[in-house]
Structure formats: structure tokens, C-alpha cells
């Protein structure tokens, strides 16, 4: 399994014909990420957005576009989003990436009945984090799509995240259903739900829950708590009970630690890189490389 984003970016170089479609990708961090992806041989791209805005960004950076970055002039965000999605659904691009565009407009295009990337599966956001302390990658979900998922949705979120971690070389998805405590309590409904899921299991996945972060991630903490099984201390998929905890958890890694992060939406017909407008160029490059590797190794994540 890949241990960090350096290895993911290196692996992405081996995926042929990777092409990214990005609506309104004329902002500085997006352009920097696309230029870097081009220089490193990770992917070509097509920017669907205002040519004038892109020229201004390139002037600011003192750069020119290489031949493998195409531009389709579009002034309207909704038109740009739908055109970008169409490029992916038609096979002209293999990955969709969010540029300087509202999430609601971006998601609406993904779910478009005619051009969208629907599969019938739940769409969920997967943040892949490199944890320096343990020098390994973990997938965190869902901090970006499903607000308060029910049991059936949690199961699909776990399957989506497991697919991503398997595409990164994990031999087995070790899924921790995260909570504040390990003992089911009616005062914390998620603990009751997670205990039921863990007891029944999810086909193809090793699942433990409810389980706190320390017991899920740290072997010593798991041993102190006398936790048994394959997941405690070795989890590579961390499932949060709602979008609030998932979003806070993933962004805490990004802005309060030295961890590198990349993210995408799983469950669509192709990898969808959906980032915050505040994400820097490295996070966007990591996410792009993540999408390339997932697209190259799996179908419909």
C-alpha cells in the first residue's frame, strides 16, 4: 500500500491518458496544481472557464499553458460545470475536479439526469490523510456530502471509502465506526447504530464500532483498552457519524497539523475531486493525483 502522497503522485505518473476536466479552474491554486500535474506527467487537463480570467492568473504567475492543457471559454458557472461533467461522462476526460465554483452548482451538474455521473450509489466524500506519526494513509468519510446518514447510508459510505483505500493498495479495508466512546449508549444514538452495524458486519470489510479515534488508530491505546480484532490500532478507514464531525476531523488535519491531505467524491461513475476554495495548490495536486490513481485502478469509485 502507498504510504504517503509522494508515492501516490509517483503512481499517478504510471496511469496513461489521465485527463482532468475542471469548471471555472482559472483561480491561482487550481492553475498551479494543473501546471504541476502537467510538469510531473500526472495528467493533462481541460479548463472550462473564462479565458480572460485565466490569462490574468497566468500573468500573475508569470507562466504559460503547456500544450496538454486545453481551454474552453465559458463565462457561466452552471454552463461550465455541466460542460465539464459532460466531458467526463462521454469519456473525453477521466476525472472531474472542482474549480472556483459554488459546491451547489458543481453537485447539481454531477447529478444532472442527462449528462451527470449518477450510478445509483450513494455519493460520499473521502478525505485521504497521510498521518506522519504513523507514516500511513487513512481514509476519512463523510465530511462533505451526507449530513446525518442513516444506517443504510453509513454502510454505503463505508463501502465507498473502502474502495478508495483498496485502490491505494490496502490488502483489506479495516473500518472503524468512530464515536466518543466504545460502549453503546442511548444518549449517543450513533453508538447504538454503529454497534448494530459492527455486529451484523459489512460484506468484504472488517468493521469495528463504536470506537474512539485513539483505539482505532494507535496500537498502544488499543492494547491499553484491551481491544481485540483486526481493526483496533490498525484502522485504515475512519467513518464519522455525521458531516459536521467528518468535516471538522479532516480539516483539523489540514490546518492544525503537518499532515498532507487529498480528497474526492466516491460513488460516482468517475472520481470527482471536490475541494474547498480555501485549499492550497498542494492539496489540489494531491487530490488530483489521488483521482488519477483511483480512476486508473478501479471503475466507478
- The pLDDT value recorded for residue 4 is 93
Note the pLDDT tens digit of each residue in 148-164.
999 999 999 999 999 99
Handedness of CA 145, 117, 204, 16 (dihedral sign): negative
Distance, in Å, from the CA atom of 294 to the CA atom of 163, rounded to the nearest integer, reads: 9
Q: What CATH topology corresponds to 124-252? A: Isopropylmalate Dehydrogenase (3.40.718)
Q: Please state the length of the chain.
A: 301
User: Where residue 178 falls among pLDDT bands split at 50, 70, 90?
Assistant: very high
- The pLDDT value recorded for residue 257 is 87
Note the pLDDT tens digit of each residue in 52-89.
999 999 999 999 999 999 999 999 999 999 999 999 99
User: Where residue 298 falls among pLDDT bands split at 50, 70, 90?
Assistant: very low
Q: Which CATH class is domain 5-119+268-297?
A: alpha beta
Distance, in Å, from the CA atom of 73 to the CA atom of 71, rounded to the nearest integer, reads: 6
Taking 60 as the threshold, does the pLDDT of residue 301 lie above it?
no
- The pLDDT value recorded for residue 14 is 87
Distance, in Å, from the CA atom of 245 to the CA atom of 48, rounded to the nearest integer, reads: 33
Instruction: Return the closest-CA partner of residue 266 out of 176, 109, 136, 144.
Output: 144
Note the pLDDT tens digit of each residue in 96-134.
999 999 989 999 999 999 889 989 899 999 999 998 888
pTM > 0.75: yes or no: yes
How do strand 174-178 and strand 237-239 relate by DSSP bridges?
parallel
Per the DSSP assignment, residues forming a β-bridge with 36 are none
Contact 61, 33 (CB under 8 A): no
- The pLDDT value recorded for residue 37 is 92
Would you list the domain boundaries of the chain? 5-119+268-297, 124-252
151 backbone dihedrals φ, ψ, rounded to 5°: -60, -45
- The pLDDT value recorded for residue 300 is 41
- Does the bond joining 142 to the residue before it have cis omega, within 30 degrees of 0? yes
Q: Do the domains 124-252 and 5-119+268-297 match in fold?
A: no
Note the pLDDT tens digit of each residue in 250-293.
989 888 888 899 999 999 999 999 877 667 788 888 999 999 99
Note the pLDDT tens digit of each residue in 189-226.
999 999 999 999 999 999 999 999 999 999 999 999 99
How do strand 260-266 and strand 124-131 relate by DSSP bridges?
antiparallel
Mean pLDDT computed over every residue of the chain: 93
Taking 60 as the threshold, does the pLDDT of residue 297 lie above it?
no
Amino acid at each position: 500500500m502507498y504510504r504517503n502522497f509522494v508515492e501516490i503522485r509517483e503512481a499517478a505518473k504510471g496511469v496513461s491518458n489521465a485527463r482532468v476536466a475542471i469548471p471555472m479552474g482559472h483561480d491561482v491554486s487550481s492553475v498551479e496544481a494543473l501546471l504541476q500535474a502537467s510538469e510531473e506527467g500526472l495528467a493533462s487537463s481541460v479548463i472550462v472557464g473564462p479565458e480572460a480570467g485565466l490569462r490574468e492568473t497566468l500573468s500573475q504567475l508569470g507562466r504559460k499553458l503547456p500544450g496538454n492543457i486545453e481551454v474552453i471559454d465559458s463565462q457561466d458557472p452552471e454552463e461550465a460545470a455541466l460542460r465539464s461533467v459532460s466531458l467526463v461522462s462521454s469519456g473525453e476526460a477521466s476525472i472531474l475536479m472542482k474549480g472556483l465554483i459554488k459546491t451547489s452548482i458543481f453537485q447539481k451538474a454531477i447529478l444532472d439526469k442527462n449528462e451527470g455521473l449518477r450510478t445509483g450509489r450513494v455519493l460520499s466524500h473521502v478525505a485521504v490523510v497521510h498521518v506522519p506519526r504513523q507514516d500511513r494513509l487513512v481514509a476519512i468519510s463523510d465530511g462533505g456530502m451526507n449530513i446525518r446518514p442513516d444506517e443504510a447510508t453509513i454502510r454505503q459510505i463505508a463501502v465507498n471509502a473502502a474502495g478508495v483505500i483498496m485502490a491505494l493498495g490496502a490488502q483489506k479495508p479495516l473500518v472503524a465506526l468512530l464515536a466518543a466512546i466504545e460502549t453503546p449508549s442511548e444518549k449517543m444514538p450513533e453508538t447504538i447504530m454503529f454497534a448494530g452495524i459492527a455486529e451484523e458486519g459489512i460484506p468484504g470489510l472488517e468493521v469495528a464500532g463504536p470506537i474512539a479515534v485513539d483505539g482505532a488508530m494507535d496500537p498502544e491505546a488499543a492494547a491499553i483498552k484491551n481491544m481485540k480484532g483486526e481493526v483496533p490500532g490498525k484502522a485504515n478507514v475512519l467513518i464519522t457519524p455525521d458531516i459536521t464531525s467528518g468535516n471538522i476531523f479532516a480539516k483539523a488535519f489540514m490546518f492544525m497539523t503537518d499532515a498532507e491531505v487529498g480528497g474526492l467524491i466516491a460513488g460516482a461513475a468517475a472520481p470527482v475531486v471536490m475541494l474547498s476554495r480555501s485549499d492550497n495548490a498542494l492539496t489540489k495536486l494531491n487530490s488530483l493525483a489521488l483521482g488519477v490513481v483511483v480512476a486508473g485502478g478501479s471503475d466507478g469509485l
